Structure 1
Amino acid sequence: MQQNKPIALRHNFYWTFVGNLVYSGCQWGMLVVLAKLGSPAMVGQFTLGLAVTAPIVMLTNLQLRNIQSTDARNHYLFSDYLGLRLMMTGLALPTIVGITLATGYRGETALVIILIGLGKAIESISDVFYGLLQQHEQMDRMALSVMMKGLLSLLMLSMGIYISGSVLWGVVGLVIAWAFVLFIWDIPSCQWLINKCTSEGEIADSLKGMTLRPRWQLKTVRNLIWLALPLGLVMMLISLNANIPRYFLEKYLGTRELGVFAALAYLIVAGNMVVSALGGAARPRLAKYYAAGNVTKYQKLLLQLVGIGCLLGLASILVAYVAGQEILSIVYQPEYAKYADILIWLMVTAGIGYISSFLGEGMTAARYFRVQIPLFVIVTSICAIASFWLIPTNGLVGAAIVMMIAEIVRIILTLGVIFHALQIFRRHKQSI
């Protein structure tokens, strides 16, 4: 049976890159708006909301989109993925509320955290629809959604802050924007995919009899959780790894310094756009190479990705060294320019992180999920210990060094897993 014809890898990359470019630029724009119309403390309050909610959402998301996009043999239906995502999202929201209140946050800060959690829950539902589009390499529809969401989010946040002078109403605008895109574009896009394939007589196995309604079958849900839980735990640990330094900064230095650090760290976004776009576009191809036992093509594509990561890292460091002060003064406020040395440290960390992200794509494409749990337990533990040791005495520089140490450890451990996977293939071929 013919498959729905996917867009070429190059075009998928372009679409994904442009989508991520617009979305990441808009996210950065939100921090700029907070810095221009508000203060570093407001940036810190917004960042704290993201830092508290992210690990919970990452855990309950179970990274189902990665499972979907690499499900080359169609083990599960879209309805199974959607049903599990709705069930886990329903668990995430009360957990966020409970943790927010239990940790002592009150008033506007608590409301900001809870509302960001609600917005992330809506975004999680969109994500499972992205998974269906990505599985069939229809990145253009997904990219258009991401662009609309980014632009509308920036507009609504800006309006809320400008009118009220409060980050709270800006976050309310975000929630409205994300819900609007889900119902107006994401759900109709997946229905379009099904209708298009049906009308053209090219219905793929994974689309046969598909509906956009959730399905809950106990055995299927249990098996899918068992498969996806390692990735959910891994992404929670990755999120903790990124946010642990921010927890320590907020505790020891306050929300203002946290806001400054978050604003500087977000300048890494330019490289992350390329990494995310290329990694997302290449992941299904890497998975197919590995599933088919084509080790040579798998290695070649992965090495190309790592080479791009190295070049991006070097370019980021050069820009920060040459024009860091000017960039910070123009983009944010002159008071941020005195932190240019921190920006250089962060760009070194970014370059190392680009490499580790691409290697992580190779590990995920090979469907090595469970081994990632102990891997990131080690990385996160080292991050926590380093934060406790370096941040109270070294402040923002200490936080940047902590992130660098964690990325280096992640690269070493991920390379070990990939080498192990390739060795298994070679031994298998020799035994045949």
Structure 2
Amino acid sequence: MMNNLKKDYFWNTLGTSLFSFNSLFFMIIVTRFNSLSDAGIFSFAYATAGIINYFALYSGRTYQISNTNEKFTGSLYIVTRYLTAFFALLISIVFVVINGYPLNKAIIIFLLCIVKCLEAVSDVYYGILQGHSKLYIAGKSMTYKSLISVIGFIIIDLLTRNLIVSCFYLLIVNIAVLILYDIRNTSKFMHIVKDFKKSSIILLLRVSSYTFLFTLTVTVIMNLPRYFIDFFLNDSDQAIYGIISMPATFVMLFSQFILQPSLVSLSNHYKSKEKRNFNKVVFKISSFILVSMVVILPVAYILGVPVLEFVYGVELSEYTFLLLLVILGSAFYAVSNVLLNSLIVVHCNKEQLYVQVFILIISLVICYFLVNYLGINGGLLSYFSILALQFIVYVFFYRFVIEKVFNKEN
């Protein structure tokens, strides 16, 4: 058992890490081998496909793994995921048609949306593997898929300098891994059941709807500046935005690695009604993230722009101040994400959806005025403003909910 746990941890950590950095590798490749305009198209298409991925995932593995009483079968999860992936593809088609993008841009967006829908289908098989204590198989799948995708993408884009061909390669890789590895390995641990009722699918979608709407709204909010840049500016500006905002991803990912091991202790403190210890864990993680800015910001001031210019081969000297703002904003968001997940532990989901809808409305106004009047600088400022807004709202919302929850428990 311990050997399996070690394998699960190693392969899942490796696979998840490589998978998380895929967008970074792809963006570097496209910026280096193609034009800045192509890089902007790819950055926008990948972000759009990421949102479509949330539609396809619906609630992902969150409810699937917590379904300990076998209320829903593995077959039901699979069929439901294929359905949500199909509807996600329809949404992507509608999105492309409504916006009337040029054929080249439309094809790239659609290809990446298909890729992300296939990733969502793979995820349901990962959930079944995880439920049978075989998470390492899912980790291997993500590892192999990430490495094959990046290496092949480099070679093909270098030879063709054609994003459509390169994105089509990613589609082929995802289809191959899904059929030859994910489905094949999962079939060993389950039997396909075909006689479940349509009402079961509807029930599954309904019980996980708040989780889906909540995570989708958060993702949309985080990507709002991209869509206003797409509307008001051009693809080259989109590329600049993608490059300058990329370091924020590292801070957010770093915070996730700190937070994840603490979720169990937070859950235990909640069950034991230990408000002080619960708050102590949250405060400790949040403080560590904010204090780390004392080191990160000076380093970013000195090395940030030169490193990004070296990696991407693009002149960025005029964006030094905005880069620092984005990194500071990412720390704010990382803290709000800690508070967000802590509130999930105390079963505060519906209320968070309302809060995110409020933030979405304010963010729409911010992005409209800043991007419309300040261009790419406004896009980056709106990104910082959204991250800061999340932080401010969640500091007050967290205090209100925690007081209410623990006082009620006592």
Common fold: TM-score over 0.5:
yes
Distance change (3 Å), C-alpha of 1:277 and 1:174: farther
Paired residue type of 1:320: A
Question: Within 5 Å, which residues of 2 pair with 1:361-372?
Answer: 361-372=341-352
Structure 1 CA distance for aligned equivalents of residues 325 and 208 of structure 2? 35
Displacement of 1:388: 1.0
Question: RCO higher in 1 or 2 (8 Å CA, sep ≥ 6)?
Answer: 1
Counterpart in 2 of 1:407? Answer: 387
1:349 and 2:329 equivalent? yes
Amino-acid identity (%): 17
Matched, 1:257 2:237: yes
How many angstroms apart in 2 are the aligned matches of 1:134 and 1:293? 30
Contact in 1 for aligned 2:213/2:353 (Cα 8 Å):
yes
> 2:354 aligned with 1:374, yes or no?
yes
In the alignment, the residues of structure 2 paired with residue 280 and residue 214 of structure 1 have an alpha-carbon distance, to the nearest angstrom, of 36
Pick aligned residue for 1:58 from 38, 54, 60? 54
Alpha-carbon distance change, 60 to 125 in structure 1, aligned in 2, over 3 angstroms: closer
Say if 1:58 and 1:236, in contact at 8 Å, map to a contact too. yes
CA offset at residue 353 of structure 1? 1.6
Distance change >3 Å, CA 213–CA 418, structure 1 → 2: farther
From 379, 387, 392, the counterpart of 2:372:
392
How far apart are the structure 2 equivalents of 1:368 and 1:82? 28
Deviation at 1:131, TM superposition (A): 3.2
Alignment partners' CA distance in 1, 2:375 and 2:198: 49
Alignment partner for residue 121 of structure 2, among 108, 122, 125? 125
Question: TM-score scaled by structure 2?
Answer: 0.87
Give the structure-1-normalised TM-score.
0.83
Q: Deviations over 1:285-323 (max 9, x none)?
A: 655664675656654544444344335554442331120
Q: Give the number of equivalent residue pairs.
A: 410
Q: Distance in 1 between matches of 2:166 and 2:246?
A: 19
Q: How does 1:225-244 map to 2 (within 5 A)?
A: 225-244=205-224
Contact 1:244 1:384 in 2 (8 A): yes
Give the corresponding residue for 2:166: 170
Contact 2:18 2:146 in 1 (8 A): yes
Residue 11 of structure 2 corresponds to residue 34 of structure 1? no
Residues 318/6 of structure 1: CA separation in 2 closer, same or farther (3 Å cut)? farther
Quick one: distance in 2 between partners of 1:228 and 1:26? 28
1:283-362 map, 5 Å: 283=263, 286-287=266-267, 290=270, 298-362=278-342
Mark the runs of 5 or more structure 1 residues left unpaired by the alignment: 195-209
Which sections of structure 2, spanning at least 5 residues, go unmatched?
A: none
User: For structure 1, which segment, 130-139 or 94-103, has the greater mean C-alpha deviation from structure 2 after superposition?
Assistant: 130-139
**RMSD of aligned alpha carbons:** 3.1
Q: Quickly say closer, same or farther: Cα 1:300–1:190, change in 2 above 3 A.
A: farther
**Equivalent residue number for residue 158 of structure 1:** 154
Contact in 1 for aligned 2:81/2:124 (Cα 8 Å): yes
Q: Deviations over 1:70-106 (max 9, x none)?
A: 4466544433332221111111112211221121113
Tell me if structure 1 keeps the 8 A contact 2:243–2:308: no
* Per-residue Cα deviation, 1:240-286 (whole angstroms, up to 9, x for no partner): 21222111112222000101111222223322333344445555665
1:207-238 per-residue CA deviation (whole Å, 9 max, x = no partner) reads: xxx54667753333223222222222222222
